[in-house]
Amino acid sequence: MIDKTAALKATRAAPRVRRIVVVLILTLLIIPVGIVAVGSGTGLIPLPYEMFVLAERMPFVFRAHMVTSAIALLLIPAVIMVRHNPQRHRMLGRVVGAFVVAGGLTALPVAIFSDSSLAARAGFFVQGLVWMALFARGILAIRRGDRRAHVLFMVAMFAVTTGAVWFRVAIGTAIFFHLPFAPIYAAAAWFGWLIPLALVLTMPALHSHLALGPLMIGSRALPSPRHA
């Protein structure tokens, strides 16, 4: 009886712990990184030298990439939060989609013409492709009424988006501890988004609860997967 009670308490506490972790990540990492990226892209915050050189070489494309990708990073959590309000979810989702496409397309030339190593440029280039591909798969999934797949692809897309956050954490750590910069920079260009993506794809518990509850597609309500 005691074991069952403890297990029930742990089950009830899990969503609360998840929310606390999400709030901490949003407050301490995603929001500050997004705001700084928007400020850097608009010229309000000075760019690091490497980024400044790239901004001088292709000013419109680079700054457009910085701003659109940062806005997508800031807005995706809001899209998830309003998932039970179909009208707001669709409206915000379309806005985010526009920023994802713009950020992904501009990421490709930015990666190609960067002064980074080939490994780092390849990491950024592939990240842009994967980012847009996951978004497209999520849209196709919801259009055919597959909510579970929609949630999986969109959360996976958000995981790839957070690569911008973990990349900056890795680079900041390397600078602070005087670690070899070039290899860490190249590794972060890949692992900054690959690790979050792998966690989403291999741990359904991170996102399966988001698929519960009705969702409106046009004027038609899709049933909850729980009752399907």
Tens digits of residue pLDDT in 47-94: 777 778 888 889 899 999 999 999 999 999 899 889 889 899 999 999
Residues 189, 119: contact at Cβ < 8 Å? yes
Whole-angstrom Cα distance, residue 14 to residue 162?
A: 23
Tokens of 134: 């996951």
Q: Which amino acid does the sequence have at 46? A: P
Pick from 150, 155, 156, 152: which is nearest to 138 by CA? 150
pLDDT score of 142: 92
Long-range contacts of 180-183 (CB under 8 A, 24+ apart): 182/117
pLDDT band at 226; cut points 50, 70, 90: very low
Better-predicted residue by pLDDT, 97 or 228:
97
pLDDT at 188 over 50: yes
Better-predicted residue by pLDDT, 44 or 51:
44
pTM: 0.80
Output helix, strand, coil percentages for the chain, rounded to the nearest 5: 80, 5, 15
Better-predicted residue by pLDDT, 160 or 35:
160
Whole-angstrom Cα distance, residue 165 to residue 225?
A: 32
pLDDT score of 214: 47
pLDDT at 98 over 80: yes
3-state secondary structure of 177: coil
pLDDT band at 33; cut points 50, 70, 90: confident
Mutual angle of helices 59-81 and 31-41, in 10-degree steps: 150
pLDDT score of 115: 86
